[in-house]
Amino acid sequence: MKDWSIKEISSLLREKKTSSVEITTDYLQQIKKKNPEINAFITVDESRSLAQAKLADQRIQSGEGDVFTGIPIAQKDIFCAENWLTTCGSKMLHNFVAPYDATVVKKFNEVGAVNLGKTNMDEFAMGSSNETSYFGAVKNPWDLSRVPGGSSGGSAAAIAARMCPGATATDTGGSIRQPASLCGLTGLKPTYGLVSRYGMIAFASSLDQAGPMAKSSEDCAMMMNVMAGFDTKDSTSIDHKKEDYTKNIDQSIEGLKIGLPKEYFAEGLDGDVAKVIEAAIDQYKKLGATIVDISLPNTNLSIPVYYVLAPAEASSNLSRYDGVRFGHRTSQYDDLMDMYCKTRQEGFGEEVKRRILIGTYVLSAGYYDAYYLKAQQIRHLISEDFKKAFQSCDVIMGPTAPSTAFKANEKIDDPVTMYLQDIYTIATNLAGLPGMSIPAGFVNKLPVGIQIIGNYFDEARMLNVAHEFQKATDWHKAIPEGALS
């Protein structure tokens, strides 16, 4: 097994030096070998993947192929895919076979990509360690005793263990960037509204955003070319002009103004992680960037605000899981109320229940103004912080997560500590801004990611900024020990 990038596979396929069936077979074998210990996939369906690969090869042969035709990727199990089990990491949907394709899945199907399978995730994307999945925890390929991050931990671990060259992921408060950081990958959470949410199972609708996860910025750019675009099926989708994210990825970043928010380097950040980030910033200076000190004064409010708004929306979004029409239904019940209670008691895990309770509470009569409404007002202030910051810089940088991958079971019983994992990523979701994490170095053989936050719809520039760094460094090329053996 060679460690191909998406870009390399694309060239090989187009030069007809290999076939999609061949590449897909390699990855399916790697999944067979590695998945039992990593648990990155919930569903793998070899025959369907190979059938897609065959069709892709035919397209390439007939000269109809797109740059993405024949490339195998994995889909986070939050995306509905027609006739695929789509669980969202929950017992509630353990038996749910989606009858339709999410727009993201549809777009990959249309360009002829191959679906290698559905990746594990925290239940309903609620978690930062991939330990809340009904289908078992995912392990970090860099250290099997540690978590891969979450909620897109399955996608991250699958790429890190070279079971796929790229995967889709979603990010509500850091669920693309934090696992990318903890698994040594490149992940992009686009501007809210740039990628359609249709068919992506909702956690917190005003914050959820799908994005790519891969090994390099170039690969993410290629995936973005497929994923981004206006969708009439999603009312919050934005009719932004179609861009080619690979086009200017190679540009010099001479003169780039990087804002460093002092709040992102304050107490709570691991000292060794801070050093890695500082070294990466030095690298950027060498590439011609200048540094601007900025402040995002409401950073410390982002977690409390998030944990009012996200659960509020989730409590409502998850009401449809009532056992009436699909998914889990308890086997024995006395009446309707009993059926509801038992079904939801059995179908949801602890963390999901906790958030439904929080959300129900903050929306209740008498509490709504004090919690939900207040949180919305602060959310606005947080957006204003960024608006002001971007007047003096082009991109904002800082750590993605406060530490490297932590030990399994270390924080699972301490939700508030777990929530602090997202301290640097949550604000961008609240503001709807794009954020990215790229590998910046290691601490004790564990990857550390640096976060790049851009202005609205500035993904092309962010990918360029990331790519220039990756041209000058090799951090993103590091492979977990034994991954290819």
# of chain residues touching another protein (CB under 8 A) = 43
- Coil vs helix vs strand at 315: helix
Assess 289 for contact with another protein (CB under 8 A). Answer: no
Nearest approach in angstroms of CB 24 to another protein is 26
C-alpha to C-alpha distance for 399 and 438, rounded to whole angstroms: 10
Structure tokens at 232: 């009439």
Nearest approach in angstroms of CB 418 to another protein is 24
> Annotated catalytic, 151?
yes
Stretch that binds another protein, among 50-58, 126-134, 181-189, 321-329 (CB under 8 A): 321-329
Nearest approach in angstroms of CB 326 to another protein is 7
Q: Kindly report the length of the chain.
A: 485
Which position among 357, 368, 384, 387 is part of the footprint of another protein (CB under 8 A)? 368
DSSP E strand boundaries for 220-378:
257-261, 290-294
Q: Which is nearer to another protein, 324 or 472 (CB)?
A: 324
Assess 199 for contact with another protein (CB under 8 A). Answer: yes
Q: Which helix (H) or strand (E) holds 74?
A: strand 72-76
Q: How many CB atoms lie within 10 A of CB 85?
A: 17
Assess 312 for contact with another protein (CB under 8 A). Answer: yes
- Please check whether residue 424 is in contact with residue 402, taking contact to mean a CB–CB distance below 8 angstroms: yes
Pick the closest to residue 260 from 283, 288, 281, 287 (CA basis). 281
Assess 201 for contact with another protein (CB under 8 A). Answer: yes
Surface-to-core class of residue 377, CB atoms within 10 Å of its CB (0-12 exposed, 13-18 middle, 19+ buried):
exposed
Q: Which is nearer to another protein, 80 or 194 (CB)?
A: 80
Q: Which is nearer to another protein, 319 or 345 (CB)?
A: 319
Assess 98 for contact with another protein (CB under 8 A). Answer: yes
Nearest approach in angstroms of CB 122 to another protein is 16
Query: Which residues 100-119 are close enough to bind another protein by CB under 8 A?
Result: 100, 102
- Please spell the DSSP secondary structure of 326-343, one letter per residue: SS---S--SSHHHHHHHH
Please enumerate in sequence order all residues whose Cβ is within 8 A of that of 203, keeping only pairs 6 or more positions apart, or say none: 124, 125, 126, 170, 172, 310, 313, 314, 317
From 175, 217, 237, 437, active-site residue: 175
Interaxial angle between packed helices 459-472 and 271-286, expressed in degrees from 0 to 180 and rounded to the nearest 10:
90
Nearest approach in angstroms of CB 126 to another protein is 15
Assess 345 for contact with another protein (CB under 8 A). Answer: no
> Annotated catalytic, 275?
no
Nearest approach in angstroms of CB 322 to another protein is 6
Pick the closest to residue 74 from 169, 186, 201, 10 (CA basis). 169
What is the sign, positive or negative, of the torsion defined by CA atoms of 83, 89, 91, 93?
A: negative
Stretch that binds another protein, among 28-36, 126-134, 142-150, 364-372 (CB under 8 A): 364-372
C-alpha to C-alpha distance for 429 and 414, rounded to whole angstroms: 23
C-alpha to C-alpha distance for 207 and 349, rounded to whole angstroms: 22
Read off the amino acid at residue 484: L
Q: Which is nearer to another protein, 145 or 319 (CB)?
A: 319
Assess 83 for contact with another protein (CB under 8 A). Answer: no
User: What do you get for the CA distance between the two ends of the chain, in Å?
Assistant: 8
Read off the amino acid at residue 18: T
From 76, 91, 107, 189, active-site residue: 76
Assess 205 for contact with another protein (CB under 8 A). Answer: yes
Q: Which is nearer to another protein, 382 or 460 (CB)?
A: 382
Nearest approach in angstroms of CB 78 to another protein is 8
Contacts to another protein by CB under 8 A: 79-80, 86, 88, 93, 96, 98-100, 102, 197-202, 204-206, 232-236, 312-313, 315-316, 318-320, 322, 324-326, 336, 340, 360, 363-365, 368, 372
Give the residue numbers marked as catalytic: 76, 151, 175
